[in-house]
Amino acid sequence: MSGTKKETGFAFTIDGVEVTAYAGQTIMEAADEAGVYIPRLCDHQGLRHQGSCRVCTVKAGGRSVAACTQPAAPGQSVENETPHLNKMRRDLVEMLFHEGNHLCPICEASGNCELQAMAYRLDMTETTRFPYLEPCRALDASHPDIALDTNRCISCGRCIRASQDVDGKGVFGYVGRGIHRRVAVNGEDLADTDAEVTDHAISSEVCPVGCIIRKRVGFVTPIGEREFDKGLIGHEIEEKRK
């Protein structure tokens, strides 16, 4: 990563703002460094890019691409904060809410949840046009230190990549196809795996929602004083730009 930075960069624009990128960088990596926030859910710093949630969809050269996987190209003109793209992102986020059981008022992650924070940022306040699927999903509290409430899982796969690439374990994996594709544990239940509470995959920053829960630390920070009560998601990236 640091090796590539020594090369001379090239310029492209995001919403008319000139951004410098280096060979091999994705649109999102270059945008982050330049202080331009592109909304994302399945992408997380330090993890392999996956490009599955499509919340980071931008228009590059008139085509819709996932900013987290699309390499930046010299002279490219990228659209990010447009009403059309934000509406599409809002619909995607809303469908994620409807696909699982996301009851913010009872969720321990409320206020720290990236799905919820994305809904705030994208102004998900209008009457819904989508049905609630209300699936019956399992709660796995078998592990002494960790619980999984899969009602809240958005199948972003961040825990899968963190477990495989950072922890070198493979506690989580995808099963099923299409709308039935889910994140599952690699065993009978979580207690049957080698998951530990100290794993990166279990850390609060990896699961964007309240699915992976560390036991006995709930509500340490009260509602109202949490991460996204202090600022909109992405504000720390936007603050880099003056």
Partner 1 sequence: MSELPKARIATASLAGCFGCHMAILDIDERLIELMKLVDVDRSPLTDKKRFTERCDIGIIEGGCCNEENVHVLQDFRRNCDVLIALGQCAIMGGLPAMRNAIMHSDAPLRECLDEAYITGRYIRNTTHNVPNDPALPLLLDEVYPCSQVVEIDYQIPGCAPSGDIIFDTLTKLLTGKFRGFEPEMIKFD
Question: Which residues make up the interface to partner 1 (CB under 8 A)?
Answer: 97, 101, 103-107, 110-111, 116, 119-121, 123-128, 132, 134-138, 151, 223-224, 229, 232
User: Hey, how many other C-beta atoms are within 10 angstroms of the C-beta on 53?
Assistant: 26
The CA distance from 133 to 47, in Å, is 30
Residue closer to partner 1 (CB basis): 197 or 223: 223
Minimum CB separation of residue 235 from partner 1 in Å reads 10
The CA distance from 41 to 207, in Å, is 10
The CA distance from 71 to 213, in Å, is 34
Residue closer to partner 1 (CB basis): 6 or 219: 219
Token pair belonging to 236? 């720390």
The residue ranges of DSSP E strands in 15-93, in sequence order, are 17-21, 57-60, 63-66, 77-79
Q: Which of 105, 96, 101 is nearest to 224 (CA)?
A: 105
The DSSP bridge partners found for residue 148 are 140, 212
Residue closer to partner 1 (CB basis): 1 or 106: 106
Residue closer to partner 1 (CB basis): 152 or 161: 152
Minimum CB separation of residue 106 from partner 1 in Å reads 6
Residue closer to partner 1 (CB basis): 117 or 156: 117
- Residues in contact with 211: Cβ distance below 8 Å, sequence separation at least 6, in sequence order: 148, 149, 150, 151, 152, 153, 154
Minimum CB separation of residue 186 from partner 1 in Å reads 23
Minimum CB separation of residue 76 from partner 1 in Å reads 28
Minimum CB separation of residue 123 from partner 1 in Å reads 6
